[in-house]
Structure 1
Amino acid sequence: MIGFSRQQMKGLHENGIATAVKHFPGDGVDERDQHLVSTVNSLSVPEWDEIYGKVYKAMIEEGALSVMVGHILQPAYSKALNPTLEDKDILPASLSTELVNGLLRDRLGFNGVAVTDATPMIGYNAAMSRKKAIPTTINAGCDMILFNKNIDEDYQAMRDAVNSGDVSMERLDEAVTRILAMKASMGLVDKQQANSLIPEAEALDIVGCPEHLDLARKSADKAITLVKDTQNLLPISPEKTPRVRVYMLEDRLSGGFKDGGASEGSFIEKLSKAGFKVETFNYEQLNFHEIFEEGVDDLKAKVDLVIYVANYDTASNQTTRRIDWIRMMAADAPWFVQDIPTLFVSLANPYHLFDAPMIKTYINGYSANDTVNEVLVEKLIGKSEFQGKSPVDPFCGVWGTNL
């Protein structure tokens, strides 16, 4: 983690992009989403130091310009730094002087810009009254407020806090100094005076250049992971299984920070070009005869191979994604898995074996872009070897998912 993070930060800094290490004090312990609730990093102090602390410390020493502070509680460290703190008074890091001033500033030695995660999130607003929260955040050690509900209201809350003495001018000056120092370190003033702050339109010509497309293909080739094939199904071929039914398990509604449905056309096109006769399960016009009465022989008369392609990507308000089988008798679930060769490909969430352990051939592709689909089909038909190694436990710690 530290090695990859260092290289990414180095590349960003070399190309004039400031970095934010986030989300302090650390996501991943709690599966919930700060857009919806204040989450909890429940590690003990020694555990946190050994895991998250090492990463944050390394990035700070490497020259991180900012840290994004999340709406995440860390009860163990909050109490360690303030032993008189009661449970009811423990706050998310974005409001916690123990975690920002105490842990991030004093213990980890960070003197750059501390910026909150987006403050319209419920994980922030549910912790205290907003008019109190805004100045509390500044006093806790954060220098910048990310996004507002009503900017005039938030601005007035800060003015009132300064006028009442709850927030000192010295604290505001400190925050502004850090912000200006970060801008200066990036050369933004000089670039603005030289009219080079925003690159010319020609700078976009690099997007989609042959070098980048080649790198994308090499990355896909090395990443796509054959998690298991205990039924020895691979490679597949039009000669062995010419008729393929594809179940596209993916988001079909656009909105938020992403658009669903991106992988269907690409994967079907690549599979068809490989010589397969491909049909897709029709989610728009469900056949209730098929749902309730179709037998094994009925399906075998139409299909030689079934491929599930899942593109359940995480997003805002959807940090935990699982297979959403059709509620009417789970019509698209693999009831036929013991009778028809079946394989499963995930192009996003790598943990779907938790809900589909019965499928004996499982592949993680990690991304639904066109390049991944192209390389994926090449691997399915044996044109290239699988090289990827799982960066996580795809068996989810559950007995039987590896069988």
Structure 2
Amino acid sequence: MNDWTNALNRLTLEEKVGQLFTFYNTGTAMSEFAATMIGELKAGGMFLDMGSLSDPEQVHRLTSAMQDVSLRSGSGIPLFVSADFVAGTGCKLKRGGAVHFPKNKAVGAAGDVSLAYESGRVTAIESLAMGVNFNYSPVVDINNNPLNPVIGTHSFGEDRDRVSEMGTAVIRGYQDHGMIATAKHFPGHGDTSVDSHFDLPVLPFDAERLDRFEPFRRAIEAGVDAVMVGHIAVPSLDPSLLPASLSYAMTTGILRERLGFQGLIVTDGLSMKGVTARFTQAEACVMAVKAGADILLAHARTIEEAGPMAEAVLRAVRSGEIPMERLDASVGRILRMKAKYGLLPETYRPLPYDPEAFDRPEHAAIALRLARAAASPVNGFRPLAEWKPAAADGGWTFIGERQLDRFAELVRSAGIVKREHTLESYEGLPTALERVAPDEPLLVSVTHNKRMDAETLRALDKRAEARPDVPVVLVHFGSHYDMEHVPHVPALLLYDRAPALQEAAAERLLGREQADERKDG
């Protein structure tokens, strides 16, 4: 009898149900709430949201304390500790200390499989050094709807093969180095115009369309260990209009049986309006288990809110609504995965905090290489020194967003800025343009993780079109879809504002990028 079977046989019914639950954690230190979820409800996992993530040492203290409670007074089995490190460990840390990689759209634009893999490898190393063993990443949705309000730059792009190629590379990078990867959001959140955080998206497609456009099959073939099911309805596959996360037809019928996925099925957050507009979280927990989910990502704001969720599943098992065989199937998958990643009592080895795992120059260099490869010139962009006469007398007026402070610092240091206007957000651009004389050469940098308001960008385009003899240059840390609104403006497209992208943009703008890493646009 193997270790995971022994562990399954030791668990009480309450402990088995607890293994299904991963609760949100919102604080930076061990709290009464977390201790209760782990110690009394016997939770199998904890999810660290942004309120839990300050710096690497703090996260290590928190995860160590959680594991200690689980082993001493909880189920006796180490936890899945998960996070949304979708762009490297540093993307969510308030105080930094780890690598913040370019988001997936930039990784897709770079198109380098080896660098995508390396980003996964580094993320795994840093995550595990903090005690995070389960990443709810990568997004493998195809962003083939320009009006999509939620996926945006989280997607590797519009092309199925590029998304599949980059997604599987990142998955291998994570899992080859000891961290569980999660392909999300099945059956695909890319071609929606509704954000499931706020309502239920409905995909009006047939099974053939879904197979052709969504690359979850490729992720499964590559050995991904978890798939997150989204709150997305597909009437052609389940006429009940249930979200896929609560649908047996989608979760078991398509993902488990048709696609042959044998790993962990995780729900998206059950507090999202795509679920709670119709059901309580307690009801949704029972429905998700019946549908075939293994891990319930539950968001309880208080201890009192959490109890009914676990109790609802317990009642359903005791009444036979959820057969014991169904419960044991999920708990068995969870324990097999914990065995694979050294998360059983016999194999778990807590690691002391090691500051040498972080802020390593060779890891930051990978992010910069990705950023340099991603930088995409459009509309005839060229370095500032090639625009005359503005460069000759350092005569550029610079309008830049406050969030792009690293880029602004590098531009200022070049001595080419005569006048500067700082924006709190890109929406202030039209007002700032009114304060710039028509004959002033203009450099603009703006950022947003979704499509920008078209009229805001058109204000910049109108200025460039009106005076083609006066240079106007845009450095755009946002969506490529925005470029249709600035056809007269030479632009450098970065897709995202990660620090490495800001540095790569400044290099390219100032003509200082390494020649062997230039990308033609």
Does TM, normalized by the shorter one, top 0.5?
Answer: yes
The 2-side partners of 1:365 and 1:231 are apart by: 15
Offset, 1:114: 0.8
Offset, 1:185: 1.3
2:365 pairs with 1:214: yes
1:312 is aligned, of 437, 440, 448, to 448
1:63 is aligned, of 210, 213, 223, to 223
The 1-side partners of 2:242 and 2:520 are apart by: 39
Tell me the residue number matched to 1:376.
505
Offset, 1:389: 6.5
Tell me the residue number matched to 2:415.
275
Tell me the residue number matched to 1:76.
236
2:313 pairs with 1:158: yes
Tell me the residue number matched to 1:336.
463
Tell me the residue number matched to 1:387.
518
Q: Deviations over 1:43-87 (max 9, x none)?
A: 3221211222xx222222322211111101122233xxxxxx4xx
Q: Deviations over 1:199-245 (max 9, x none)?
A: 3322x423332222332332222211102227997734763462222
The 2-side partners of 1:73 and 1:353 are apart by: 31
Greater shift, 134-143 or 344-353, is seen at 344-353
The 2-side partners of 1:28 and 1:155 are apart by: 32
Q: Secondary structure at the match of 1:363?
A: strand
Tell me the residue number matched to 2:115.
none
Q: Structure 1: which amino acid aligns with 2:489? A: K
Tell me the residue number matched to 1:176.
331
Q: Deviations over 1:363-384 (max 9, x none)?
A: 1113323433333223223334
2:349 pairs with 1:196: yes
Q: Deviations over 1:105-160 (max 9, x none)?
A: 11011122111011111111123344432211110011111023321121222233
Is 2:387–2:471's contact at 8 Å kept on the other side of the alignment? no
2:196 pairs with 1:34: yes
Tell me the residue number matched to 2:177.
15
Cα distance 1:29–1:331, how it changes in 2: closer, same or farther (>3 A)?
closer
Tell me the residue number matched to 2:206.
44
Cα distance 1:148–1:273, how it changes in 2: closer, same or farther (>3 A)?
closer
Tell me the residue number matched to 1:243.
395
2:520 pairs with 1:367: no
The 1-side partners of 2:352 and 2:236 are apart by: 49
Cα distance 1:388–1:77, how it changes in 2: closer, same or farther (>3 A)?
farther
Offset, 1:31: 3.1
Q: Secondary structure at the match of 1:343?
A: strand
Offset, 1:357: 2.0
What is the total number of aligned residue pairs between the two structures? 344
Q: Structure 2: which amino acid aligns with 1:209? A: R
Larger radius of gyration: 1
- Give unpaired runs (5+ residues) of structure 1: 79-84, 250-260, 285-289, 314-319, 391-403
Cα distance 1:90–1:372, how it changes in 2: closer, same or farther (>3 A)?
closer
Cα distance 1:158–1:282, how it changes in 2: closer, same or farther (>3 A)?
same
1:349 is aligned, of 464, 476, 479, to 479
Q: Structure 1: which amino acid aligns with 2:463? A: F
Q: Please identify which structure carries the higher helix content.
A: 2
- Give unpaired runs (5+ residues) of structure 2: 1-162, 425-429
Cα distance 1:175–1:278, how it changes in 2: closer, same or farther (>3 A)?
farther
The 1-side partners of 2:458 and 2:237 are apart by: 48
Q: Structure 1: which amino acid aligns with 2:208? A: P
Is 1:247–1:309's contact at 8 Å kept on the other side of the alignment? yes
Is 2:268–2:297's contact at 8 Å kept on the other side of the alignment? yes
Q: Structure 1: which amino acid aligns with 2:235? A: P
Cα distance 1:231–1:16, how it changes in 2: closer, same or farther (>3 A)?
closer
The 1-side partners of 2:365 and 2:433 are apart by: 48
Q: Deviations over 1:141-180 (max 9, x none)?
A: 1111102332112122223323333222221111111111
Q: TM-score, normalised by structure 1?
A: 0.76
**Aligned-CA RMSD value:** 3.1
Is 2:458–2:486's contact at 8 Å kept on the other side of the alignment? no
Q: How does 1:75-154 map to 2 (within 5 A)?
A: 75-78=235-238, 85=239, 89-149=240-300, 150-154=305-309
Q: TM-score, normalised by structure 2?
A: 0.60
Q: Secondary structure at the match of 2:403?
A: coil
Tell me the residue number matched to 2:33.
none
Q: Secondary structure at the match of 2:391?
A: coil
Is 2:443–2:474's contact at 8 Å kept on the other side of the alignment? yes
Cα distance 1:371–1:8, how it changes in 2: closer, same or farther (>3 A)?
closer
